[in-house]
Amino acid sequence: MADDPTEPAALTRDSLLFVDDDHFERGTVALVTGAGSGIGRATAVALAANGLTVAATDLDEAGLDGTIEKADDLDADGAIEPIVGDLTDDEFLERVVDEAAEFGEVRYLANIAGLQHIDPVDEFPVEKFDLLHDVMLRAPFVLSKHVIPHIQATDDGVGAIGNMASIHGHVATQDKVGYVSAKFGIRGLTKSIAAEGDGTLRAFTVSTGYVKTPLVTNQIPDSARERGISEREVVEDVMLGEARVKEMMEPVEVANLFTLGFSKHGRHLDGGDLTWDGGQLGTY
Ligand code: NAD
């Protein structure tokens, strides 16, 4: 498309939220999944810029290299340590937390990795449904299981698990049954962690509308086909039609929500949802 509304702006220091927090230093580790692209990459860079050591994991090794390069370009005070692996592999889910703990005290987990598949319910392949659930719901649960003991073992028990949900964790649109059901599920996982966290170990979700990432760009042709409309109509009418802010979010704007949620300013954010939806859910 000409004038591509899905093309993100360059990530600059000016676009980052910086928070002064005693725990935001190199001895503290944030494990970030999906860190090789889009929102996960921006979050890894944002947390490293805030001084943390980020254990950055993804299937995509070249993507992780790009994330390290971006953090270097921005002169991040912290560090990014890449760990390549597949979130559908239980052995990896245990190992990635062990490896993250070698870099310092693991206090933060950002479950961001995800993928989309477009098909109506009656044609939705069962193996795709399972894959979406494995990556976006089961892996966040298993990683939380392994990370929680690390947070509990710190001197003050302070830490947080931030889970990437979506407006699709609040409402459904057609042809996304795997995604919608996983995103509704991750809100339940988040509240369950909060219920057991005693207030120092917190959990929260982030729910946004459409963000300028490959996950969005890749679904436009399939959505156009299923709905029988043009790709531009998918963007303007389906993705932004119900929102009041008629522009997709930048990945860094989502990353800043993880920085805020993990920080001392997020102290009362526990089981709740940061709904940054451009007015889509609350208006009609
Ligand atoms: P993206 O495609 O840019 O990044 C997703 C990353 O997840 C990729 O780097 C991919 O390699 C990784 N990944 C996928 N399967 C994996 C696996 N099995 N093991 C390890 N890594 C795996 O997408 P994005 O838009 O940045 O999405 C990140 C998260 O944000 C997802 O959970 C998505 O559902 C959510 N989200 C996105 C939007 C949006 O509009 N882009 C809106 C709301 C929520």
**Closest residue by CA, ligand 1 atom 43:** 166
State the pLDDT at residue 271: 98
Amino acid at 163: N
Looking at the CA of residue 183, tell me the nearest atom of ligand 1: 34
Residue 112 is assigned to a structural domain of this protein? yes
pLDDT tier at 214, thresholds 50, 70, 90: very high
Q: Could you give phi then psi for residue 162, rounded to 5 degrees?
A: -105, 125
Is the Cβ–Cβ distance between 48 and 24 less than 8 Å? no
How many whole angstroms from 210 Cα to the centroid of ligand 1?
Answer: 12
Collapsing DSSP states into helix, strand and coil, what is residue 89?
coil
Residue 72 is assigned to a structural domain of this protein? yes
**Ligand 1 cavity residues, CB under 6 Å:** 34, 36-40, 58-60, 63, 86-88, 112-115, 135-136, 164, 166, 208, 210-211, 213-216
Residue 91 is assigned to a structural domain of this protein? yes
Mean predicted lDDT score pLDDT of the chain: 96
State the pLDDT at residue 5: 86
pLDDT tens digits, residue range 13-65?
999 999 999 999 999 999 999 999 999 999 999 999 999 999 999 999 999 99
Beta strands 28-33; 105-111: pairing state: parallel
Cα–Cα distances (Å) from 17 to 9, 33, 111, 187, in that order, read: 16, 20, 19, 25
Residue 197 is assigned to a structural domain of this protein? yes
Q: How many domains does the chain have?
A: 1
In this structure, the number of other CB atoms found within 10 A of the CB of residue 259 comes to 26
| pTM, rounded to two decimals | 0.98
The structure tokens listed for 155 are 């001197």
**Among 183, 205, 211, 276, residue to substitute to test ligand 1 (most atoms within 8 Å of Cβ):** 211
- Between CA 182 and CA 188 the distance in angstroms is 10
pLDDT tens digits, residue range 73-129?
999 999 999 999 999 999 999 999 999 999 999 999 999 999 999 999 999 999 999
CATH number at residue 45: 3.40.50.720
pLDDT tier at 284, thresholds 50, 70, 90: confident
Indicate the Cα dihedral angle 133, 138, 140, 142, nearest 10°.
-170
Looking at the CA of residue 113, tell me the nearest atom of ligand 1: 7
The structure tokens listed for 259 are 């920085």
- Between CA 129 and CA 147 the distance in angstroms is 26
Average pLDDT over residues 168-172: 98
State the pLDDT at residue 103: 98
Is the Cβ–Cβ distance between 81 and 3 less than 8 Å? no
pLDDT tens digits, residue range 235-251?
999 999 999 999 999 99
Cα–Cα distances (Å) from 254 to 128, 130, 205, in that order, read: 26, 26, 11
pLDDT tens digits, residue range 248-271?
999 999 999 999 999 999 999 999
Bridge partners, 56 (sequence order):
32, 82
- Between CA 84 and CA 95 the distance in angstroms is 11
Looking at the CA of residue 41, tell me the nearest atom of ligand 1: 26
Residue 3 is assigned to a structural domain of this protein? no
pLDDT tier at 1, thresholds 50, 70, 90: low
The structure tokens listed for 131 are 């894959």
**Closest residue by CA, ligand 1 atom 3:** 38
Looking at the CA of residue 136, tell me the nearest atom of ligand 1: 32
Q: Which residues are catalytic?
A: 179
Is the Cβ–Cβ distance between 248 and 277 less than 8 Å? no
In the chain, the percentage of residues whose pLDDT exceeds 90 is 96
**Closest residue by CA, ligand 1 atom 4:** 37
Task: Provide the residue count of the chain.
Answer: 284
How many whole angstroms from 61 Cα to the centroid of ligand 1?
Answer: 15
How many whole angstroms from 281 Cα to the centroid of ligand 1?
Answer: 22
**Among 167, 215, 258, residue to substitute to test ligand 1 (most atoms within 8 Å of Cβ):** 215
Cα–Cα distances (Å) from 147 to 26, 73, 87, 138, 281, in that order, read: 18, 30, 15, 14, 32
Looking at the CA of residue 135, tell me the nearest atom of ligand 1: 18
**Closest residue by CA, ligand 1 atom 2:** 215
Using the predicted structure, report yes or no on whether residue 9 has a pLDDT greater than 60: yes
Instruction: Give the domain range for residue 69.
Output: 21-209+249-276
Which conformational region is residue 137 in: left (phi greater than 0), alpha (psi within -120 to 50 degrees), or beta?
A: alpha
Which residues 6+ apart lie within 8 Å of 53 measured at CB?
26, 27, 28, 29, 30, 78, 79, 80, 81, 103, 104
